[in-house]
Each structure stands twice: as structure tokens, then as C-alpha cells.
């Protein structure tokens, strides 16, 4: 292992230094290290836990030296539209969120992920350490989502979700869930999550036989996309971002941590039944599953074909008359 400075109080983990430099996230940095693509003072390092002194040690990734002092940290808040991939590039040639962010002189990376059909608040930055503070469960950063599901939702179903849902990836339990709007055939719910597991809301809904129509992230702690049009972005300073997240420089929770307060009031599930359309079914009716994303277009095509058939039969009957 290459020698670092003896001043241990200034040493940091190698993957943290790489992430702080904006090369990639901390998790990706760990992958680069294990692949033998990182060197310290000219020697390749493949061991996790290696510490370096950013003031003395020379760190390079793929033979390119990292200079922390020359890298300006950038923080971008984007209101992601549907049908964009949350990645820096897509092998399938689909549009990525990077196509929406322009005029930035440095390479940015998405913080966390919103899947292809999800929309809403997405942070992009070259500050890997800040990204880790937002994503890591130990910082307990609350993320708020609005989710539209097919059918109508009753109080018993909401209570089951609140108690925790057993999914293929184990127990998943939101901090809270409530109804915020009842439509004739669909229901809007608000989920608040702290752990932010991959596709957590969709997995909870699937386990409860709910079919998601739309999913958008509206806030991360006190940071919100309110007033920011879909597809647009804005810049934040680190100080502004930390204030909105209710953190100090070390990622520690402040006593007066801000929280997102929605303007949408909680809808009483008993009163919501009066707003339900005559054709609406309970949200956990499995017939709605035909509208899930893997079956959606096939289902819509079948419905259209059925409508054409009915019109054709009606026209034939009229001719017979």
C-alpha cells in the first residue's frame, strides 16, 4: 500500500476524495478502486479503506491526476419530465437528464435515480460527498412523492401500507402515506420516505396490487420543485442546499431542520367515496394491472380495437334496420 502523510487528522478515505473531486459518486469510486484504475503516488491501490492526505498525496484515476483545489462544486435542481433516463448516457439511445442541463462547465452526475416514467425533483452535482449525504440512509433525508394510482383507495389499504409491506426485497415501510386527491377513477397519494431504496414506492404498490399511473418527486426535505417548470433547472450554492436540507457542513441534522409542507390537504377516505365515478373499482383490483408500464400499450391497443369493433357492429345493425 502506498504511504500517505503521517498527519492522520487530515487523512480521508480514498473513495471519498475521488467523490469530492466530482469524478463520480462514492460508490462508483469504490468500483474504480477494485478495478485497479486508481493510483496513489504512482502506485495502484485496490484495497478498500485506504486513506490519503489530499494536501500531500497525488491521486490519479485512469492516469489523470485529481486536483481538488481546481474543481468548483456545482449543484443543479432539475424538474425531470417523464421519458428521460436518469443517467449520464444510455446505450439504448434514449434521452437522458443530461440533455436538459446546458451551460455547465463541469461534468455532473445525478443524485439517486428517478426511473424512466417517473418525474419531478432531481439533483445533479459534481460533489460526490454531498450526493452521499443525500442518498445514504443514515442521514435520514426525507423525500416526498406524489403518486397517482388507478381506482379508489380506502382507509384499510392505507393502514396496511403504513404498517409496512413485505416485498420481494424485504419489508418496506414509508414514513407516512396519505390521500391528497380523489378523481373519478384514480387516486393521488403522498408518500414520504427516509431510506430511499431502489424503486421503493413502485415495489410497495406492486406488493399491494396497486397500479401506478404517475409518480413524481416533489421535495427532498425543504428543497422543492414548486415554481420550477417541468424540464427546467436552476442552480444552488452549497450553503443554500445545506440550508434547504437542514444540514451542517458535516451532514449532521440541525435542530430546526426544514420540512416540506404541501399545500394539498389530506382527503378523508370516507368522504372521498362520494367523488368516485360509477365505473371506478377498488385500487387493488387486479384488472388495473393491464395498465402497468410493461403491459400498458398492449392494453390500450386492445381497448381501442374493442371500441372499433363495437362501432362496426353498431353500424352493421343500423344498416340492417
Catalytic residues: 115
Cα(178)–Cα(181) distance, rounded to whole angstroms?
9
The radius of gyration computed from the CA coordinates of the chain, to the nearest angstrom, equals 24
**Neighbour-count burial for 51-90, b at 16+ CB within 10 Å, e otherwise:** bbbbeebebebeeeebeeeeeebbbbbbbbbeebbbeeee
3-class secondary structure per residue, 61-74: ECCEECCHHHCCCC
**CB distance 225 to 114 below 8 Å:** no
Among 248, 244, 215, 232, CA closest to 144: 215
Cα(218)–Cα(190) distance, rounded to whole angstroms?
10
Cα(15)–Cα(27) distance, rounded to whole angstroms?
8
Amino acid at each position: 500500500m502506498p504511504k500517505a502523510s503521517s498527519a492522520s487528522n487530515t487523512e480521508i478515505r480514498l473513495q471519498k476524495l475521488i467523490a469530492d473531486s466530482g469524478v463520480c459518486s462514492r460508490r462508483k469510486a469504490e468500483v474504480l478502486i477494485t478495478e485497479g484504475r486508481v493510483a496513489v503516488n504512482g502506485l495502484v491501490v485496490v484495497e478498500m479503506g485506504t486513506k490519503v492526505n489530499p494536501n500531500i498525496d497525488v491521486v490519479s484515476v485512469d492516469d489523470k491526476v485529481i486536483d481538488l483545489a481546481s474543481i468548483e462544486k456545482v449543484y443543479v435542481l432539475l424538474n425531470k419530465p417523464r421519458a428521460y433516463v436518469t443517467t449520464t448516457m444510455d446505450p439504448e439511445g434514449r434521452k437522458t437528464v443530461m440533455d436538459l442541463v446546458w451551460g455547465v462547465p463541469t461534468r455532473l452526475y445525478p443524485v439517486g435515480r428517478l426511473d424512466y416514467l417517473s418525474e419531478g425533483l432531481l439533483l445533479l452535482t459534481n460533489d460526490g460527498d454531498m450526493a452521499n449525504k443525500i442518498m445514504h440512509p443514515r442521514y435520514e433525508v426525507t423525500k416526498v412523492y406524489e403518486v397517482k394510482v388507478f381506482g379508489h383507495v380506502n382507509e384499510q389499504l392505507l393502514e396496511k401500507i403504513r404498517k409496512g409491506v413485505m416485498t420481494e426485497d424485504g419489508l418496506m415501510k414509508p414514513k407516512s402515506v396519505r390521500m391528497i386527491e380523489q378523481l373519478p377513477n384514480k387516486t393521488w397519494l403522498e408518500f414520504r420516505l427516509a431510506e430511499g431504496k431502489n424503486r421503493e414506492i413502485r415495489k410497495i404498490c406492486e406488493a399491494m396490487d396497486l397500479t401506478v399511473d404517475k409518480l413524481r418527486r416533489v421535495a427532498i426535505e425543504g428543497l422543492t420543485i414548486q415554481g420550477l417548470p417541468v424540464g427546467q433547472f436552476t442552480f444552488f450554492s452549497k450553503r443554500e442546499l445545506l440550508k434547504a436540507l437542514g444540514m451542517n457542513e458535516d451532514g449532521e441534522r440541525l435542530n430546526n431542520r426544514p420540512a416540506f409542507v404541501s399545500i394539498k390537504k389530506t382527503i378523508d377516505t370516507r368522504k372521498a367515496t362520494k367523488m368516485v365515478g360509477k365505473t371506478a373499482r377498488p385500487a387493488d383490483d387486479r384488472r388495473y394491472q393491464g395498465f402497468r408500464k410493461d403491459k400498458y400499450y398492449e392494453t390500450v391497443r386492445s381497448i381501442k380495437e374493442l371500441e372499433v369493433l363495437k362501432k362496426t357492429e353498431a353500424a352493421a345493425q343500423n344498416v340492417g334496420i
